[in-house]
Structure 1
Amino acid sequence: MGKSRKSEPSGCVLLDSVYAIQSALRKQLSQGSLPPKICGFEKERRELLDLIKRTATTGESNSVLVIGPRGGGKSMLIKSVLDEVTLEANVKDNLMCVHLNGLLQTDDKLALKEITRQLHLENTVGDKVFGSFAETLQFLLEALKSGSQSSKPILFVLEEFDLFAFHRNQTLLYNLFDISQSAQTPICVLGVTCRLDVIELLEKRVKSRFSHRQLHMFNSLNFDEYLQLFVVLLCLGDDFPDRKLAAEWNKQIKVLAADKSIVNILKRLYQYTRDVRSLQQLMFYPVTQLKDDHPELTASDFQESMKLMTTDSKASMLHGVSILELCLIISMKHLSDIYNGEPFNFEMVYKEYQKFAQRRSSMLLFDKPVVLKAFEHLISLELVKPMDNSGGKKVQKEYRLMGLLIHPSQIMTALQNYPHCPTEISQWASCSLAV
């Protein structure tokens, strides 16, 4: 692309070209924004579009569950379908949408309050007192009717649907499904979840009112489509103000996608996970590195991004622990090897640590209270966890059974990069059994 230059998108306002490209790509890669093209879900998209359109135009009530892994594109697909369906004149003014999330609306009272807010019925409810959840919900839906006119169709999108199943008596789900079966108010209930067993969480009375319509979303992109998606996500769209600059940038992205090192990075990520969210995450770091003296994306940017994405967080945490804490972790590793992964307690760890310190390095021999304090710090870091849920009230803390949350390979990886790690400690860690 050469050097950064100035473009004039409108009026006399000058826009720095690199900043403009970076802003456009950041918006394009953010999860709040739809990608320019959705790949791999054509069949699911048609089914969902048809379902919502029937509710909006003919008043047909429906209920459906959209099931797929996290980052698989469920919310993205729903947003895309809603954007398309609301462009139609007979749908735009005839469909009301209510979005609920099981992480936010943790009980039916909060859910009802959010439904009231999104339907703009706060003034209608006022200080009225209702006898039950069903009575309140029915009043809200009746309030949407004007004179003799029937109520507008309503689409309920329930994100984290499985969490609503843990509400008391599943009252919200029961009433929504019950209304969707009646002919009173046309509603479409759209549940979004990553749990394949979500139907088993529903009570019998809720199951009987659910249509049992399910839409399973599993990413079926082959690598060529995945590579094409990489290009699509990094290319500037038709709405970019400087068309000449956009064409130049898009040409450079296609050249970059043909680079062997980029293809290898994408193959590694594709083998690990095929979801779009991870691909977007890979692109964020290179995009943030764009500046006047670095106006193009390079293969080294993506290599660094891949390195950051695949960094082992627990192995990195071990770089910050003290030498004493590191010795305790190695003691636990040896105990796990000796006893085939069985739980251990502090006394066992302390004896293992003492054997090493007395034989190999007297400089590392600390008093028992100091060692116990270091052990408790490892618990607070969640590198070690108690195997019981009693909180240690029934057992002395020195004898509580513990489990190591770090794999031996992570410990060895951390030791290789631990700053100024004493040789005797690394040799001790590499022994198959403590000596």
Structure 2
Amino acid sequence: MGREKEKEKPSEKALNLLRSRLSDPNFIFRPLSDSPDSNYSKLKFIISTSVTEACNNSILLLGPRGSGKVAVLELVLSDLLQQYPEAISVIRLNGLLHSDDNCALKEIARQLCMEHQLLFSKVASFDDNSQFMIAMLRECGLAHKTIIFVLDEFDFFAQGKQRLLYSLLDAMQSVNSQAVVIGVSCRLDVDQLLEKRVRSRFSHRKLLFLSPSKEDTERFMEHILSLPMDSSLPHNYAAEFNGRLKKILSDERFKELIDTYLSFNFTIGHLVRFLFQAVSYMDLNAGFLSLGNFKTALSSNQRQLKLESIRDCSVLELYMMVCMKRLEVKEQTSYNFYSVMTEYKSIHDSFQTSDYYAANVCLRAFEHLLQCQLISFIDNKGHNQSVEFRPVKLLISSAELHQGLKSYQQCPAILLKLMDR
């Protein structure tokens, strides 16, 4: 029994190590920072330039959720705070919490007071907090200290009158100020939401966080899953573990499996969650990862709620989603019920389909898609408008829709044909 326990220890240590790595954003994104062309290097250069050369900057980090925007930003900030501990102050806001201008400016004042050990007034007005922020920017600039404003969910700040953005960017026009505004958003067109007066004061720098290439994905997985040879793990065990891992990573079946997964979930965040699941399926008695672990993780991931929702849709609702996807392929970024109906009619006219319904029936199907959260309104504006006039977006990818159609028993053949085009 004692020997069996000893044999189990390396595999348990390895499992705990891999899980801790997959839960540590710094470890995950560190290899992606090696290249001078990486977003990490570019962002670090921009911010460090502001610190060392006492200049103002603004930049947008754009990309889908899970693509590593915040993780890379935090990695850069932690490195710079170590490098310039007395020269940087970080103020963090989130559009989900602070989209109201008064609330946001009050939060900035609160964090500045906390950072510089000043008394914070809860009853200060917007103008008072604005003047305080300007004064702090000036004082920090004179002290050669850079204030970094991180605005997560930046698109929420770009709604309404945008008084916060204007006040902040206008204050940065001062010669004495020394600040960086970093906006983080999932919307690639977020800069188009800015008013002219705000846009004219913005630096228009953007960093796009896209899905990793195949080479980056392979390098990333090897970095995450390989065991260190100089750790407390037995050398022979670590060597065999890494050898088996390389065989799995080079296996064509594994590559096909990863391609299948990434066709649905294409961000680093999704890949990390997938690897965490695969690692958790590792047999501790065997002590090594196997291709079966990844297959099990994939099958559990494919039971997605959206795919289940598609199976519960009517044929008409499938038509409407295919119409929306076709509009997106035609680069029509904004569409409403009537746009979808126009596309629906064109399909019927072109292929003489038997599945053609009246507008009021289609509207009910459209509303049901909203309830199922397969589509959603693009923004919160237009509450007073009728549902059919408000622009919407499809919340599932082409691959998910295609798989949902294939698994739908009564799916008309024309829909699969249209998706393959």
Residue 76 of structure 1 pairs with residue 68 of structure 2: no
The amino acid that maps onto 1:278 is H
Kindly state the Cα deviation for residue 408 of structure 1 after the two structures are TM-superposed. 10
- Partner residue of 1:372? none
CA distance in 2, matches of 1:266, 1:293: 26
Deviation, 1:158, is 1.4
- Contact 1:19 1:291 (8 Å CA) reproduced: no
Q: 1:331 to 1:111 in 2, by over 3 A?
A: closer
SS in 1 for 2:41: helix
Contact 1:39–1:229 under 8 Å retained in 2 = no
Contact 1:282 1:306 in 2 (8 A): yes
Superposed displacement of residue 287, structure 1: 1.4
**Deviations for 1:215-251, whole angstroms, at most 9, x for unmatched residues?**
3343462x23322222112123589543635444333
- CA contact under 8 A between 2:33 and 2:40: conserved in structure 1? no
Tell me, what secondary structure is at the counterpart of 2:247?
Answer: helix
- Residues 1:258 and 2:250 aligned together: yes
- Residue 164 of structure 1, CA deviation: 0.9
Residue 391 of structure 1, CA deviation: 11
**Preserved CA contact (<8 Å) 1:412 1:430:** no
Question: Take 1:266 and 1:412, find their aligned partners in 2: how far apart are those partners?
Answer: 20
Matches within 5 A, 1:119-138: 119=112, 120=114, 124-126=119-121, 129-130=124-125, 132=127, 133-138=129-134
Task: Sort the Cα spacing of 1:289 and 1:116 in 2 relative to 1 into closer, same or farther, 3 A.
Answer: farther
Partner Cα separation in structure 1 for residue 216 and residue 310 of structure 2: 39
- Output the CA distance in 1 between the equivalents of 2:162 and 2:319: 48
Distance 2:274 2:186 in 1: 23
Secondary structure of 1:242's aligned partner: coil
Shift of the 256–407 alpha-carbon distance from structure 1 to 2, 3 Å rule, reads: closer
Partner amino acid, structure 2, of 1:162: D
TM-score by length of 2: 0.69
| Match among 78, 86, 100 for residue 81 of structure 2 | 86
Change (3 A) 1:84 1:303: same
1:37 aligns with 2:53: no
Match of 2:407 in 1: 413
Contact 1:315 1:414 (8 Å CA) reproduced: no
Paired with 2:52 and 2:190, the residues of 1 have a C-alpha distance of 30
Q: For 1:104 and 1:238, how far apart are their aligned partners in 2? A: 45
1:231 equivalent to 2:222? Answer yes
User: Are residues 114 and 233 of structure 1, via their aligned partners in 2, closer, same or farther at CA, if it must alter by over 3 Å?
Assistant: farther
Quick one: distance in 2 between partners of 1:212 and 1:296? 48
Distance 2:184 2:16 in 1: 30
Q: Which residue of 1 aligns with 2:175?
A: 183
Q: Does 1:338 align with 2:354?
A: yes
Give the direction of change, closer, same or farther, for the CA distance of 1:67–1:430 in structure 2 (3 Å limit).
closer
The amino acid across from 2:130 in the alignment is A
User: AA paired with 1:413?
Assistant: S
The 1:407–1:95 alpha-carbon spacing in structure 2 relative to 1, beyond 3 Å, is: closer
Query: Which structure has the larger Rg over C-alpha atoms?
Result: 1
Q: Distance in 2 between matches of 1:4 and 1:285?
A: 26
Please say if residues 144 and 178 of structure 2, whose CA atoms lie closer than 8 Å, have aligned partners that are also in contact.
yes
Size of the aligned set, in residue pairs, is 359
The aligned runs of 1:5-404 (5 Å cut-off) are 6=6, 16-30=9-23, 32-35=25-28, 36-38=30-32, 42-43=36-37, 44-88=39-83, 91-119=84-112, 120=114, 124-126=119-121, 129-130=124-125, 132=127, 133-141=129-137, 150=143, 152-166=145-159, 168-219=160-211, 221=213, 223-237=214-228, 241-242=232-233, 244=235, 245-270=237-262, 274-293=266-285, 295-317=287-309, 329=314, 338-340=354-356, 343-345=359-361
Q: How many percent identity over aligned positions? A: 26
Answer yes or no: is the 8 Å Cα contact 1:286–1:301 preserved in 2.
yes
Is the contact between residue 262 and residue 299 of structure 1 (CA under 8 Å) also seen in structure 2? yes
Q: Give the C-alpha shift of residue 202 in structure 1.
A: 0.7
2:90–2:148 CA contact under 8 A, matched in 1 = yes
Query: Distance in 2 between the 1:55 and 1:198 partners?
Result: 23
Range that drifts further, 228-237 or 269-278: 269-278
Which stretch shifts more, 329-338 or 33-42? 329-338
* TM superposition shift of 1:182: 1.3
Q: Distance in 2 between matches of 1:177 and 1:342?
A: 51
| Residue type of the alignment partner of 2:120 | V
Larger helix fraction of residues: 2
- Unpaired runs of 5+ residues, structure 2, are 321-343, 345-352, 377-381, 387-395, 415-421
Whole-angstrom distance in 2 between the partners of 1:274 and 1:40: 22
How far is 1:201 from its partner?
A: 0.7
